Amino acid sequence: MPNRSQTLARAGALRAMFEAQGAVPVEPPILQPAGALLDLYGEDIRARAYVTSDALRGEQMLRPDFTVPVVQMHMSHGAEPARYTYAGEVFRRQEHDPDRPNEYVQVGYEVFDRADPAGADAEVFALIGDALAHLDLRAATGDIGVLMAAVAGLRTTDARRAALMRHIWRPRRFRALLDRYAGRTRMPGARRNLLAGDPPKSPAPMIGLRRQDEIDARIAALREDASAAPLGAHEVELIEALLAVRETMPFALQQLRDLAVDLPAIAEAVDRIARRADAMAARGVDVGALPFETSYGRTSMEYYDGFVFGFHSVTRPDLPAIASGGRYDALTRRLGDGGEIPAVGGVMRPGLMLDLEGVA
């Protein structure tokens, strides 16, 4: 195990490398207001982050990542385009796995640039890849944007598209919704009874904030959904085929292009992947051997909405990703107070790198 000063020294060297690329070093505070993080991730973040509080400032979190504070900072007073780098501890509760550290050092690089998203994706991936080149790592890449484009293009109701979109990052729920909309699962008895005849009125009094008109609106929405035509079997098969794409980049692109013939909604997203692959090749990435997986990154924290990547140890599959990142355009919109800018970034874990290098 490397000691703390070795890890910090490596973190400093990696940050200096990003500074040499023109990145501005930033140091967000360790204590972050909990509101923005809770709003973004929901209750799940409490299982992953340490929450503390005081009577004056309310709930605070020990920063579980740097991306959110860096985006907040950029959206409030950043110049464009911008490149940032940082190095420091993040804090994660590890209640399911006592072997994983709950405090570790991350070094990151974030690019806010409208001009050339494919180039920015390739830049982040290649810089991180180069810094890890001496280690025996397996790269993984994906693109959440393809699945989002496919959902947006489904021939079904707005409500169904919105529900699927909301659960893009929860594969099991997504699957269950898809099956239901395709008419593959039977409607539960209670739902059938609810929709048969007039809406039942409960003899119980109305209590709580949710009012009768909200209940009526939901029943109306359920009726509308029940009368909507099921998703076509062919369309569902195409989505399943899309989710199953797992190949080296050239073959994956070929499969995606074939699928785009029947799913024209994904054509633009597939073009983006192709442009990114070209930009990566121009930076010396061996794109011919680079894996691509449509489902990669779907279970991580839900802010990546385009390119996603990770580097994993071949010899130590028990370790978490040595580096990971992705594109998060929608996050800048949500934290941007009306503004937005395409953004991509990645983080590395110098402690794990030293582990793999065998530093005692």
Annotated binding site for L-histidine: 65-67, 92, 106, 110, 298, 303-304
Calpha distance 236→229 (Å, rounded):
13
Residues 263-302 that bind other proteins (CB under 8 A): none
- Burial letters for 59-89: b for 16+ Cβ neighbours within 10 Å, e otherwise? ebbbbbbbbbbbbbebbeebeebbbbbbbbb
Question: In the complex, what is the shortest distance from the CB of residue 186 to other proteins, in angstroms, rounded to a whole number?
Answer: 13
**Cβ closest to other proteins, residue 24 vs residue 194:** 194
Does 217 participate in binding other proteins (rule CB under 8 A)?
yes
* Binding residue (CB under 8 A) for other proteins from 17, 132, 152, 194: 194
Calpha distance 148→294 (Å, rounded):
11
Calpha distance 94→279 (Å, rounded):
37
Question: In the complex, what is the shortest distance from the CB of residue 97 to other proteins, in angstroms, rounded to a whole number?
Answer: 8
Residues 16-55 that bind other proteins (CB under 8 A): 38, 42-44, 46-47
**Cβ closest to other proteins, residue 291 vs residue 320:** 320
Stretches 159-167, 268-276, 288-296, 331-339: which one binds other proteins (CB under 8 A)?
159-167
* Binding residue (CB under 8 A) for other proteins from 29, 197, 208, 338: 208
Calpha distance 156→259 (Å, rounded):
19
**Cβ closest to other proteins, residue 213 vs residue 261:** 213
Does 179 participate in binding other proteins (rule CB under 8 A)?
no
Stretches 52-60, 62-70, 103-111, 171-179: which one binds other proteins (CB under 8 A)?
171-179
Query: What DSSP character marks residue 349?
Result: -
**Cβ closest to other proteins, residue 188 vs residue 358:** 188
For tokens 């195409």, the residue is 238
Question: In the complex, what is the shortest distance from the CB of residue 53 to other proteins, in angstroms, rounded to a whole number?
Answer: 12
CA-to-CA dists, residue 8 to 3, 84, 345, 349, 351, angstroms: 9, 18, 21, 11, 8
Does 215 participate in binding other proteins (rule CB under 8 A)?
yes
Contacts of 332 (CB under 8 A, 6+ apart): 71, 74, 75, 112, 339, 340, 341, 342, 343
Cα atoms found within 13 Å of the Cα of residue 299, Cβ hemisphere only = 3
Does 133 participate in binding other proteins (rule CB under 8 A)?
no
**Cβ closest to other proteins, residue 219 vs residue 281:** 219
Q: Are 231 and 154 in contact (CB under 8 A)?
A: yes
Q: Residue 98 has which token pair?
A: 């006592």
327 by DSSP, 3-state: which?
Answer: strand
Instruction: Please give the residue ranges that form the binding site for other proteins (CB under 8 A).
Output: 38, 42-44, 46-47, 95-96, 98, 163, 166-167, 170, 172-173, 176, 188, 190-191, 194, 199-202, 204-210, 212, 214-215, 217-219, 221-222
